[in-house]
Chains A and B, each alone.
Chain A
Amino acid sequence: MQETFYDVMRRQGITRRSFLKYCSLTAAALGLGPAFAPKIAHAMENKPRIPVLWLHGLECTCCSESFIRSAHPLAKDVILSMISLDYDDTIMAAAGQQAEAIVEEIVHKHKGNYILACEGNPPLNQDGMSCIIGGKPYLEQLQFAAKDAKAIISWGSCASWGCVQAARPNPTQAVPIHKAPGIPGNVPIIKVPGCPPIAEVMTAVVTYILTFDRLPSLDRQGRPKMFYSQRIHDKCYRRPHFDAGQFVEAFDDEGARKGYCLYKVGCKGPTTYNACSTVRWNGGLSFPIQAGHPCFGCSEDGFWDKGSFYDRLTDVHGFGVESNADEIGMAAAGVVGAAAAVHAGASIVKRMAQKGDKE
């Protein structure tokens, strides 16, 4: 019989007391009642570990960096051992042929029963040559591993939306996982966007899948509802200043010192779906807005291509210079207004001329 999660944890020297604490914490993190802690414990004690392949395409490894910093130290240890992380080229010991053989082995041995975690995305131009893994385009490795996966997790904004390598003009034609060719349509894809995603969100998504043996419920764009159903703005601790009408105007003004709302310096909290304002970062220590910097919406689709990080409107292209909606609108209204004024003048002249004719 395969090892269970609990076996692995005990082998790693984790006490039963710590294990039960972890189960309670996970239940709380997932928004479940206290009654679910024993259920999680039961699942951990009885279910065999699910193999996970963690592939890296075009990426910066910030997702991995975030993941290994999962706040509760226990969670980090547990997740790294409980998911049988068979392949992750950044942190695994194996290398070369030996490492690549693992992918093949998992795909054959655990057909339809392994999770494919994707960090980064495949480039399509130049036959995918902009990202080579083990001598082959990453796209081929991805397609091979995806076809028999139980589910795909798209870690981070790269895998979910495309992120910086897919930003205009996207020379390598990098595409997010769900848009890559050859990904079977029947394999569910869970998007966990963010650059990087919050560590606890990443571990909780994996824990949820393992514990309940089903995928978390997803919104229309494929993100787990439990972490991506609300905007940063909805749970922001500076929200009272927003409602009061107290805004930071510049980064060194009195408002900034008083911790006013960052809306006017371009905070994208009102347009960004993520859990930063509730879960926060680095063990709940802080998050960008708490540190005095506006959210720039790293978990939103195409956030590199929406103009300045400090502007709440998207740049509209095709007007020669990039301008935002209000600039274009004001110019249009100005032109219409000026046209109306000129037209009114012409109308008056015409009317006077007609009157002159009659007289």
Chain B
Amino acid sequence: MANTEVTRDGQQAVYVYEGSLRLWHWINALAIFTLIGTGYFIGSPMSSVPGEASENFFFGWIRYIHFSAAYIMIAGFVFRLYLAVMGNRHSRELVFPSFTSRKWWAGVWHELKWYAFLTKEPKKYVGHNPLATLAMHFMLFWGTIFMIVTGLALYGEGTGMGSWQYEWFSSWVIPLFGQSQDVHTWHHLGMWYIICFVIIHIYAAFREDVMSRQSMVSTMISGWRTFKDNRPVDDDTD
């Protein structure tokens, strides 16, 4: 591998996450936290602010931050799709998991056993382990698409008929779900789906950092994957 180096203590290190992908990861993480926080307060507003309505725009700002963060997340998502095609092979995994590979599914099974404490040693992966890929694909990737579509449909209600948000999203999403309130309800459920992913993702990242045979948290900061042993890797991407 061209992007492989050996560290000073004789261990292998592989450049896994490119700079653009790491930038996306952290911007996306920040956007998601902002969206969850502001989104929760849009659904369950805080106590009233004192004074005249004309002097305040508190709730307006919360919504403004929500919408801005949403657009940043959408732009990031489009960029992420570009990376899935044009980036290195690890950036493909989240968008196009190897669903057709038997070895990959065996990897999912092995990871499940690893998490159920039924196996002594985890496999060694340069990229994502198959179970992580599965979670990212169905919870983050499709979850994000769901939130973008329902979110733009709700936003289009405010921008009104004739706006691209309304014509491209609201006009068909709202009848599809029944009515506007149902889209709101599903957008809330979507938020909790993403929150569940965030909990699992952060927990698993730290756990794997300690328990697995490769680096985790530092990799998403530096881009380099380091390993705790020199035995061959189990990736199924080639």
Contact = CB atoms under 8 A, between A and B. Distances in A.
A137 B43 CA distance: 46
A50 B231 CA distance: 87
Contact of B182 (A272, A314, A337, A343): A314
Residue among B161, B184, B185 with most chain A CB within 10 A: B185
B184 A351 contact: no
B148 to A, nearest CB: 18
A329 B195 contact: yes
Contacts of A90: none
B54 A264 contact: no
A301 B160 contact: no
A194 B171 CA distance: 20
Contact of B161 (A225, A241, A347, A351): A225
A231 interface: yes
B180 A306 contact: no
A243 interface: yes
Given A219-B161, A336-B196, A260 B181 contact: no
Interface in A309-348: 312-314, 316, 324-326, 328-330, 332-333, 336-337, 340, 343-344, 346-347
A343 B115 contact: yes
Interface stretch (B45-53, B66-74, B91-99, B124-132): B45-53
A113 interface: no
Contacts of A288: none
Residue with the highest number of chain A CB atoms closer than 10 Å, among B115, B179, B191: B179
Interface size class of B (residues with CB under 8 A): 35 or more
Nearest to B41: A245
Given A300-B179, A329-B189, A336-B200, A247 B57 contact: no
B60 A301 contact: no
Contact of B160 (A229, A316, A350): A229
Interface string A79-115: 0000000000000000000000000000000000000
The DSSP consensus for interface residues of chain A is: helix
B45 A330 contact: no
Interface string A201-227: 000000000000000000111000100
Residue from the set B43, B44, B196, B211 with the largest chain A CB neighbour count within 10 Å: B196
Interface in B75-124: 115, 117
Q: Which 6 A-B pairs have the closest CB atoms?
A: A329-B192, A245-B58, A245-B59, A271-B180, A244-B56, A325-B188
Given A245-B49, A301-B178, 18 more contacts: A229-B160, A240-B54, A242-B59, A243-B59, A246-B49, A300-B179, A303-B179, A314-B185, A324-B185, A325-B186, A325-B188, A325-B189, A326-B192, A332-B192, A337-B199, A340-B203, A344-B207, A346-B117
25 contacts: A229-B160, A234-B158, A240-B54, A242-B59, A244-B53, A244-B58, A244-B60, A245-B59, A246-B48, A246-B53, A270-B180, A297-B179, A300-B180, A301-B179, A306-B179, A306-B182, A312-B181, A313-B184, A316-B189, A326-B44, A337-B199, A343-B115, A344-B203, A344-B207, A351-B210
